[in-house]
Amino acid sequence: MSNTRATLVWQEIPGLDPSSFTETDSCQTKCWFGGVSNRRRCNFACISVEEEREVKNFSPTSAQLLKDPLALIALVPKDAALFAAGAIAGAAAKTVTAPLDRVKLLMQTHGLRAGQDGAKKGIGFIEALTLIGKEDGIKGYWKGNLPQVIRIIPYSAVQLFAYETYKKLFRGKDGELSVIGRLAAGACAGMTSTFVTYPLDVLRLRLAVEPGYKTMTEVALNMLREEGFASFYNGLGPSLIGIAPYIAVNFCVFDLVKKALPEKYQKRTETSLLTALVSATVATVTCYPLDTVRRQMQMKGSPYMTVLDAIPGNMTLR
């Protein structure tokens, strides 16, 4: 064996008495006194040898690639494949729920738009759903979904990279990462990824709620020309403020709900899924006012410059 490793393990075996062996010549036991408690120790040892073997990953042959081009997927690194699968799943989920998301955006911003038009300041779920179909047709339910889907890949990539970086910064002197350190690293990673991809979030809102725009490029050029580059970061404050409490409430509720369940249910997969759903719902409801403020600050011509302006303004509109 070229590369070998030998491991010597000393193990005390209760009840082992060297004097009980009949063949004393073949088992010459030497004993000594040592250790912290100065106990009697004997030279019983177990030696295991492990051969280091090179793990070869599967690689398709040229003939296999010609016959089935999809075999190229086998050449993709595992981490990259998992990341791509997550991105595709996220894009599919956003696309499926896009109609509901657009209804939510209309309900969140209708007060400001109605104030400008002199119409009523409130709008219900059914009314918003009907309004989209009447004004934009079936395609209108997915209006503004493209920037949301594009945002998934850079957001996830920045978040993963930032989380690993922040974990190193928040490690203790012993090299371990505490629960508070994990929460802080997660919050900082969420804020970093939000900051980097925030312009796409603003474009998504403008396309979804403001009439007259048909493409993402048209919205972006109009914003640069009329409002300047800073308009791409309108409402960033409440977005960053809302990340830390969202993560804290999510983790806290998840932990409390899971510990409150009987022990036999705690390790089941369906329990984890249900607990995650409950914790995410509670966190979303808790931080929802900040989300509404953010959406209203993202609108063109919004009267709100800060969170402190927006909260009293929303109470007045209601």
Of the chain, the percentage scoring pLDDT greater than 70 comes to 74
Asked which of 57-61, 67-71, 149-153 is least confident by mean pLDDT, the reply is 57-61
Mean pLDDT score of the chain: 79
Which residue carries 């899924």 as its tokens? 273
Beta bridge partners of 196: none
Q: For 41, what's the count of Cα atoms within 13 Å in the CB-facing half-sphere?
A: 13
Asked which of 80-94, 110-124, 135-149, 246-260 is least confident by mean pLDDT, the reply is 110-124
* Confidence at residue 103, expressed as pLDDT on a 0 to 100 scale: 92
Of the chain, the percentage scoring pLDDT greater than 90 comes to 20
Please check the confidence at residue 55 and state whether its pLDDT lies above 80: no
pLDDT category of residue 142 using cuts at 50, 70 and 90: very high
* Confidence at residue 101, expressed as pLDDT on a 0 to 100 scale: 92
- In degrees, rounded to 5, the angle at the alpha carbon of residue 212 between the alpha carbons of residues 206 and 214 is 75
Asked which of 3-12, 263-272, 283-292, 306-315 is least confident by mean pLDDT, the reply is 3-12
pTM > 0.75: no
Beta bridge partners of 8: 47
* Confidence at residue 41, expressed as pLDDT on a 0 to 100 scale: 53
pLDDT category of residue 306 using cuts at 50, 70 and 90: confident
Domain ranges of the chain: 4-51, 79-317
Tell me the CA distances in angstroms from 142 to 104, 198, 279, one per residue in order.
Answer: 13, 20, 28
pLDDT category of residue 34 using cuts at 50, 70 and 90: low
Please check the confidence at residue 26 and state whether its pLDDT lies above 50: no
Residue 51: which region, alpha, beta or left (left: phi > 0; alpha: psi -120 to 50)? beta
pLDDT in tens, 211-262: 888 888 999 999 999 999 999 999 999 999 988 889 888 888 888 888 888 8
CATH homologous superfamily of 79-317 equals Mitochondrial carrier domain (1.50.40.10)
* Confidence at residue 272, expressed as pLDDT on a 0 to 100 scale: 84
DSSP for residue 269? H
* Confidence at residue 117, expressed as pLDDT on a 0 to 100 scale: 47
